Chains A and B, each alone.
Chain A
């Protein structure tokens, strides 16, 4: 059998070109295989060979995403590979993003078998784990000696068409995908056995870990709303015109805090929505529909509320992970407490 043709994607650092100062290196095919690719090739043995190593600087990749992607895709196509391996990226964030992007791209565009490897807290994990197979590594290149054999083992498994086991069995990142499999015993007997273990107080493994909904109990009502300082927090994506913080239209990676002390109301001229998950026409025409500044100012003037806090907070709820939402909420809550805000109106869309 002919050796499987593998393309390796790495960044400027692992190509031996340099560190941060060389992060602007443009995409190219390495003339000679870099040391890391040679080591990987050795571990792949007789069944696979690395036919090319594509290198790109992390800054260049992330700052010129579209052009870098198409250049890299062309280079990979030219090598006529059977598989692509990206990384390992360890805990290098931009490198992790690049590895995830390249793997997803070749899967989508070329229907090519591909995977990467990185540390579980690499930002690339959260973004790509659903679409991309990722082998777990340690957080720094010091873990290379352990990481490369795992990468080679997975590569050979995929090349040989072997079944890929569960994340625990394979040391991969849990992708959060439910996959049907046939077990030894029928479901009713599995339930009986689980009940016996539970009755005896022995350990057992549930087949479906229940998602835990983080239900937050409502606080008691404000005693005197006419003295209360009120703030608005929204996941509806209202931002100052032209979205100065570039909050993403989906899967927001940040939130914004915007000063409204000089505004009596919000309008089409000064605010808009960044949200990509609903028809923005009506929110853009009148942003008060999402952040009800107009009526809150009226209530403030009429003395029905104490005051409106000078900032509102905004992010885009569309596709944003629960983990990120929790993080933003913790930050915002601290800021609200530090500013003695008494109550918050949360608006969603």
Chain B
């Protein structure tokens, strides 16, 4: 499977009479965008704002961040099984509005939505402060159920990203990157002497608003299976979860999964990157046992020499991470783990809820319990009063002067467990 990613660099976003890309500027026809994403009975109002890097703006509670993409060649469309038919994607050519994103906000769904500051100390911790964002403020009708609310806003975000992505259909990309993964035997013929590696991609599926979807299927209901890495770049996996903001994989992160991109960098040189094993993080023990048995079985079946395993979330999924690590290691396959830490505000506690000596190669996205003071910013989009109750906030987080003291857990994308950021933690 071979996919060309055509990056169209977006340096600014402005409202305009027509939705189009001209000279690296994305113009958005506001009414047309609102029309394209309206129609859900659960939603009372939708508004759109534009925020840019460096502006004194805070957006909260942020639910999802999505990159606008459009499929210009090859089977299927973006977000298969959700907005497009369930064709298998990952082949042909896809255009990306690089540097732009859709960000959804509005009344809080649960407790686990985040903060994005476009400037100041908080901006250093979130990758989304570096993007020009089209912020969709979707307010629900009173009395709707949380899961209906989450579903409605999730779809609105995808629709907005698809609508904007269309603007890139006929634009010549600034650069084209090619990603190719061949069928297993062909791939082995090509690199017979290189070790075979794969990516074990754990998806958050604890349920009750902690869900991820694969081709439209709730990943709680899958058994571990294989994907070509490029399928992910066309939106085969999307976020539906309200897990702590710092280490949930937003849809933007799934589309740009850095483990996949970085494994491609040394593919054919240091190893043969043969594919992706997706698995879930269900809460029942039998599900945990079955899924970890199957990741190990698939890893063995593919004849792998090594894997990178990434976690999503913390606490309960730590057990899935360790079960995957242990069982895959027992097959004689080398493992590297990607996680983050909950070592307490003082950093003195044990960071993970489970552990095994086989987890001897571990990369961390940092300690999510570290606290930070975010100064008052000039403009607020969303609802700041939720700060005290979101995960990472505490009673008194929102101070009288408008500044905020929170754990970085509350900052969207701060401790990415797929390694999207440069942060790590060291032992002092």
Contacts and interface: CB of A to CB of B under 8 A. Distances in A.
Nearest to A201: B334
A79 to B, nearest CB: 29
B366 A180 contact: yes
Interface in A158-208: 164, 166-167, 174-192, 194-196, 198-199, 204, 206-208
Contacts of A179: 347, 367, 425-428
B271 interface: yes
A186 B258 contact: yes
A189 B419 contact: yes
B339 A188 contact: no
A211 interface: yes
B355 interface: yes
A166 to B, nearest CB: 6
Interface stretch (B10-18, B84-92, B260-268, B390-398): B260-268
B82 interface: no
B427 A191 contact: no
A198 B363 CA distance: 13
B259 interface: yes
B425 A186 contact: no
A15 B344 CA distance: 40
Interface string B391-428: 00000000000000000100000001011111111111
A181 to B, nearest CB: 6
A227 interface: no
A184 B422 contact: yes
A190 B355 CA distance: 21
B348 interface: yes
Contacts of A183: 422-424
Interface string B365-399: 11100100000000000000000000000000000
A130 interface: yes
B367 A199 contact: no
B419 A212 contact: no
Contacts of A196: 266, 270-271
Contact of A207 (B307, B418, B421, B425): B425
B352 interface: yes
Contacts of A177: 343, 346-348, 427-428
B428 A195 contact: no
B217 interface: no
Given A166-B426, A177-B427, A178-B347, A187 B421 contact: yes
A184 to B, nearest CB: 7
Q: Of residues B197, B271, B364, B426, which shows the largest number of chain A Cβ atoms within 10 Å of its Cβ?
A: B426
A331 B334 CA distance: 39
B336 A198 contact: yes
A210 interface: yes
A189 B259 CA distance: 7
Contacts of A167: 427-428
Contacts of B347: 177-179
Contacts of A208: 339, 341, 351-352, 362-364, 425
A199 B357 CA distance: 18
Interface string B124-151: 0000000000000000000000000000
B195 interface: yes
A183 B426 CA distance: 10
Q: Of residues B308, B363, B408, B416, which shows the largest number of chain A Cβ atoms within 10 Å of its Cβ?
A: B363
A180 to B, nearest CB: 4
Interface in B315-334: 334
Given A199-B195, A208-B341, A192 B424 contact: no
B211 to A, nearest CB: 23
Nearest to B341: A178
Q: Of residues B258, B365, B427, which shows the largest number of chain A Cβ atoms within 10 Å of its Cβ?
A: B427
Contacts of B307: 195
Nearest to A175: B428
B173 interface: no
A179 B423 CA distance: 10
Given A208-B341, A210-B352, A187 B419 contact: yes
A206 B357 CA distance: 12
Q: Of residues A182, A188, A190, A195, which shows the largest number of chain B Cβ atoms within 10 Å of its Cβ?
A: A188
B363 A194 contact: yes
B41 interface: no
Contact of A186 (B305, B308, B310, B422): B422
B237 to A, nearest CB: 16
A183 B422 CA distance: 5
B223 interface: no
A187 B427 contact: no
Nearest to A198: B334
A213 B341 CA distance: 17
B380 to A, nearest CB: 26
A186 B420 contact: yes
Given A166-B428, A183-B423, A186-B419, A210 B360 contact: yes
A190 to B, nearest CB: 5
A123 B420 CA distance: 42
List 6 tightest A-B contacts by C-beta distance, closest first: A187-B419, A188-B419, A188-B258, A178-B347, A178-B343, A177-B347
9 contacts: A130-B346, A178-B426, A178-B427, A180-B367, A180-B408, A189-B265, A192-B262, A198-B361, A208-B339
Given A187-B419, A195-B307, 20 more contacts: A175-B348, A175-B428, A176-B427, A178-B341, A179-B426, A180-B367, A181-B424, A181-B426, A187-B363, A188-B420, A191-B363, A192-B259, A196-B266, A199-B270, A199-B305, A206-B362, A210-B352, A210-B360, A210-B362, A212-B357
